[in-house]
Amino acid sequence: MTGIHACIISRTFNAPRALVWRAWSDQANLAKWFGPPGTTTPMAKMRFRTGETSHYSMAGPDGREMWGKLAYRELVPLEKIAWVNSFSDRHGAMSRHPLSATWPLQMLTEVTFAERDGRTTVAIKWLPLGGTDEECETFESAQASMTDRWAGAFERLAKFVIEN
């Protein structure tokens, strides 16, 4: 598919960049806010270094689990995190989205952090990585839903930075 549009969401938090960065880079902190409201996200493994991976589960209020894996491509302390995200099984093997057979198998995710006057703006950008035309169309049609879910995660992150 030509001309695919990235999905981008951003939010400014009333917190210094170092605190927001720790919310993303520390396993215990990430587990406290990552995911839509009502979910829990225990990190099975987090190796926050370029070339390493993190493996997590996300459980909804109904107890249903989804597993994911992050393969870190670039880490610029306090400025940027880039990773390839995929769904996985509980052992870390890549798998299809449990609710969408045409969801891209891999997504490139870039998160940037910019501080101004003690406030930090986080911007997240996603693009399918090597997806088929059908996968790219699924991605395009799901961008509003992705934005909504991440808005909920950002609410959780805002609460986390206020409390910490």
Q: Quick: pLDDT tens for 40-57.
A: 988 788 999 999 999 999
The whole domain housing 131 covers 7-163
Q: Which of 115, 113, 48 is nearest to 75 (CA)?
A: 48
Contact 34, 48 (CB under 8 A): no
Q: How far apart are CA 48 and CA 113, in angstroms?
A: 16
Helix, strand, coil fractions of the chain, as percent rounded to 5: 30, 40, 35
Q: In the chain, how many domains are there?
A: 1
Higher-pLDDT residue of 1 and 82 is 82
Position 1 in a domain: no
Position 2 in a domain: no
Task: Name the packing angle between helices 133-141 and 143-163 (round to 10°).
Answer: 60
The pLDDT assigned to 1 comes to 45
Position 54 in a domain: yes
Higher-pLDDT residue of 23 and 41 is 23
Residue 139 has pLDDT above 60, yes or no: yes
Task: Name the packing angle between helices 143-163 and 17-25 (round to 10°).
Answer: 110
Residue 93 has pLDDT above 70, yes or no: yes
pTM of the model as a whole = 0.92
- What is the CATH number for 77? 3.30.530.20
20 three-state secondary structure = helix
pLDDT above 70 coverage of the chain, percent: 98
Q: How far apart are CA 150 and CA 156, in angstroms?
A: 10
**Per-chain mean pLDDT for the chain:** 93
The pLDDT assigned to 142 comes to 93
The pLDDT assigned to 2 comes to 54
162 three-state secondary structure = helix
- Name residue, tokens 């995190």: 81
Q: How far apart are CA 78 and CA 112, in angstroms?
A: 8
The pLDDT assigned to 149 comes to 87
Contact 118, 101 (CB under 8 A): no
DSSP classification of residue 4? P
Give the confidence band of 76 by pLDDT, cuts at 50, 70, 90. Answer: very high
The pLDDT assigned to 43 comes to 77
The pLDDT assigned to 49 comes to 96
